[in-house]
Structure 1
Amino acid sequence: MSTSELRPALSEITPTTPDEWIQRAAEVAAILAVDAAVRDRAGATPYDEVKLLKDSGLVTLLGPTEHGGGGQTWPTAYKVIRTVAEADGSIGQLLGYHLLWFWAARLVGTKEQIAAVEEAATTNKWFFGGAVNPRDADVVVTDEGDTISFSGRKSFSTGSKVSDVTVLEGTLLDSGTHVFAIVPSDIEGLNFLDDWDNIGQRLTESGGVTLNQVRVGWDQAAGFVGKTFQPRVYNTLNVPTIQLVFVNFYLGIARGALETAVTYTREKSRSWLHGGYASAVDEPAVIDAYGDLQSKLWAVEALADAVALEAQVIHDNAWEVTEQQRGEHEVRVAAVKARATEVALEVTSRIFEVTGARSTATIEGLDRFWRNVRTHTLHDPVAYKRREVGRHLLVGELPEPTWYS
Structure 2
Amino acid sequence: MRAPMRSVPSAVGPVCPPASDAADGREPAAVPEKPSARPSSPQVKSCTDEEIWLRVTREVADDLAVDALDRDRAGKPPFDELARLREAGLPALLTPPGPARRGTDWRTACAVVREIAAADGSIGELLARHYVLAWSARFFSTPERADGLELRASAEQWLWGGGIDLPDAEPATGPALSLTPDKDGYLLSGCQSFAAGVTVADRLVLGAVCAGTGESLVVWVDPAHPGVAAEPENDRLGQRLAAAGRIRFDGVPVPADQVLGAVPHDEHAFAPFATLAPLALRLALVHVGLGVAEGALAEARDITRAAPRGRAGTGRDEGGYPDRPGADPYLLLAYGELATEAHTAAAVVESASEALARGLLAGPGLGVDQRADIAVLVAAAEAVTSRSAVRLTTRVLELTQGAGPVADPLGFDRFWRNARVLTAQASPTHRLRDIGDHYLNGTHPPLTLHA
Counterpart for residue 75 of structure 2: 43
Decide whether the 8 Å contact of 1:133 with 1:156 is kept in 2. no
Identity rate, percent: 32
More divergent stretch after superposition (43-52 vs 271-280): 271-280
Is 2:75–2:234's contact at 8 Å kept on the other side of the alignment? no
TM-score, normalization by structure 1: 0.90
**Is residue 309–residue 327 contact of structure 2 (8 Å, CA) maintained in 1?**
no
1:233 equivalent to 2:279? Answer no
Aligned-partner Cα distance in 2 for 1:143–1:239: 27
Match of 1:287 among 332, 335, 347: 332
Give the counterpart letter for 2:423 in structure 1: T
Q: Quote how far apart the aligned CAs of 1:145 are.
A: 3.8
What RMSD, in angstroms, separates the aligned Cα atoms of the two structures? Answer: 2.8
SS at match of 1:223: strand
Alpha-carbon shift at residue 402 of structure 1 (Å): 3.1
Amino acid at match of 1:103: W
Structure 2 Cα separation of the partners of residues 360 and 388 of structure 1 = 45
| Aligned position for 1:245 | 284
1:385 and 2:431 equivalent?
Answer: yes
Which letter maps to 1:380?
A
1:62 corresponds to which of 94, 112, 117? 94
Q: Secondary structure at the match of 2:396?
A: helix
Label 1:276 to 1:305 Cα distance change in 2 as closer, same or farther (>3 A).
closer
Instruction: State the shift of 1:189 in Å.
Output: 1.4
Q: Tell me the amino acid that sits aligned with residue 357 of structure 2.
A: Q
Please, which of 340, 345, 350 is the counterpart of residue 305 of structure 1?
350
Cα separation, 1, equivalents of 2:240 and 2:270? 37
Q: Distance in 2 between matches of 1:235 and 1:66?
A: 19
**Kindly tell me: are residues 35 and 187 of structure 1, through their superposed partners in 2, closer, same or farther at Cα, counting changes over 3 Å?**
same
Whether 1:371 and 2:410 are equivalent positions in the alignment is no
1:175 to 188, 203, 213: 213
Return the alpha-carbon distance in structure 1 between the equivalents of residues 410 and 183 of structure 2.
Answer: 58
* 1:96 lines up with 2:128 in the alignment: yes
Alpha-carbon distance in 2 for matches of 1:381, 1:340: 12
In the other structure, the counterpart of 1:8 is none
Deviations 1:168-221 (A, max 9, x none): 221122333221112112023111112342010000001111111111112221
Shift of 1:132: 4.2
Taking the TM superposition and a 5 Å limit, the aligned residue runs for 1:12-51 are 14=44, 16=47, 19-51=51-83
Moved more, 213-222 or 248-257: 213-222
Measured at CA, do residues 16 and 187 of structure 1 come closer, stay the same or move farther in structure 2, by a change above 3 Å?
Answer: farther
Q: 1:110/1:12 Cα in 2 relative to 1: closer, same or farther (>3 Å)? A: closer
Structure 2: runs of 5 or more not aligned: 2-28, 31-40, 264-268
Match of 2:205, SS state, is: strand
What is the distance in 1 between the residues matched to 2:228 and 2:101?
A: 29
Query: In 1, are the aligned partners of 2:297 and 2:393 still within 8 Å (CA)?
Result: yes
Q: 1:129 aligns with which of 161, 176, 190?
A: 161
- Of residues 399, 402, 405 in structure 1, which corresponds to 2:448? 402
* Contact 2:114–2:291, Cα closer than 8 Å, also in 1: yes
What is the total number of aligned residue pairs between the two structures? 395
386-395 vs 302-311, greater mean Cα deviation: 302-311
Residue from 333, 344, 352 that aligns with 2:389 = 344
